[in-house]
């Protein structure tokens, strides 16, 4: 075979990603995030599809997202919801929640979503006081609070609820013992709890930046 005919070398993630048709609605969101000079840290497309599938598979009605950014994962979550489903999305930056809300509204998901602005831990206390419970959680905000978010999620979980945590590898930092930064130590604690907490069954996916998936027993 001549060199010209050789296929490009893909990472496993890039090879699998290029099999899928571009998702125009999500591409618009991503472009607006960049145009607004917001961080380009939306969930990986493949994991976004997994979020949609999980919601459908477990027929989740009440979904909680911690960390909205521009609404990319919010759209993925809403795509899986039934007509009477609801998404509560916690976000500390009002301008991010505003952009996310606009994106969800433009795609017809406005009626499903409620944004709660402020420290996620405060909103989580408030949800607990209101007696709210959830079938699905997507933890994707400040890494230093992941262990707190996991504990709160377990408290707010309906039996059989699924808890997903994004970025559990922190671009390789969690597995590097020379790094002792607080957020990295917090993620290590989160990962250990995901793996060992007797209230959970779980698995972890190492592709992209790593994803934890736990089911509340």
Name the β-bridge partners of 157.
134
The residue among 197 and 209 lying less far from Mg ion, judged by its C-beta, is 209
Task: Please tell me whether residue 7 adopts helix, strand or coil conformation.
Answer: coil
CB of 18 to ligand SAH, least distance (A): 21
Residue 44 CB, nearest approach to Mg ion (Å): 8
Partner whose footprint covers residue 93, from Mg ion, ligand SAH, none (CB < 5 to 8 Å by kind): ligand SAH
Listed residue (73, 52, 46, 18) closest to 208, CA to CA? 46
Q: Which of Mg ion, ligand SAH, none is residue 90 near (CB under 5 to 8 Å by kind)?
A: ligand SAH
Taking the C-alpha atoms of residue 82 and residue 78, their distance in angstroms, rounded to an integer, is: 8
Instruction: Name the site residues for Mg ion (rule: CB under 5 A).
Output: 140, 166-167
Which residue is at the shortest CB distance from ligand SAH?
Answer: 67
Shortest Å, Cβ 165 to Mg ion: 9
Q: Which is nearer to ligand SAH, 139 or 194 (CB)?
A: 139
Residues that bind ligand SAH (CB under 6 A): 41-43, 67-69, 72-73, 90-93, 96, 119-120, 140-142
Q: Which stretches within 107-206 are classed as H helix?
A: 120-129, 146-156, 182-196
Nearer CB in complex with Mg ion: 167/202: 167
* Cβ neighbours, 10 Å, residue 191: 22
CB 154 within 8 A of CB 201: no
Pick between residue 85 and residue 165 the one whose CB is nearest to ligand SAH.
165
Angle (deg, nearest 10), helices 45-57 and 72-80: 30
Integer Cα distance of 33 and 18 in angstroms: 22
Name which of 189 and 217 has its Cβ closer to ligand SAH. Answer: 189
């Amino acid at each position: 075979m001549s060199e010209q005919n050789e296929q490009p070398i893909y990472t496993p993630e890039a090879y699998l990603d290029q099999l899928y048709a571009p998702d125009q609605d999500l591409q618009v969101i991503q472009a607006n995030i960049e145009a607004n000079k917001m961080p380009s840290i939306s969930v990986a497309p493949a994991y976004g599809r997994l979020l949609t599938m999980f919601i459908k598979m477990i027929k989740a009605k009440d979904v909680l997202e911690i960390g909205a950014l521009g609404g990319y994962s919010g759209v993925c979550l809403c795509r899986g919801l039934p007509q009477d489903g609801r998404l509560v999305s916690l976000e500390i930056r009002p301008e991010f929640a505003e952009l996310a809300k606009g994106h969800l509204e433009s795609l017809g998901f406005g009626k499903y979503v409620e944004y709660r602005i402020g420290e996620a831990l405060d909103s989580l206390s408030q949800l607990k006081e209101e007696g709210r419970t959830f079938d699905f959680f997507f933890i994707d905000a400040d890494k230093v609070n992941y262990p707190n978010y996991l504990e709160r999620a377990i408290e707010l979980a309906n039996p059989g609820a699924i808890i997903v945590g994004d970025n559990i590898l922190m671009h390789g930092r969690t597995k590097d013992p020379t790094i002792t930064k607080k957020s990295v130590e917090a993620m290590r604690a989160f990962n250990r709890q995901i793996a060992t907490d007797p209230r959970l069954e779980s698995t972890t996916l190492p592709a992209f930046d790593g994803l934890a998936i736990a089911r509340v027993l």
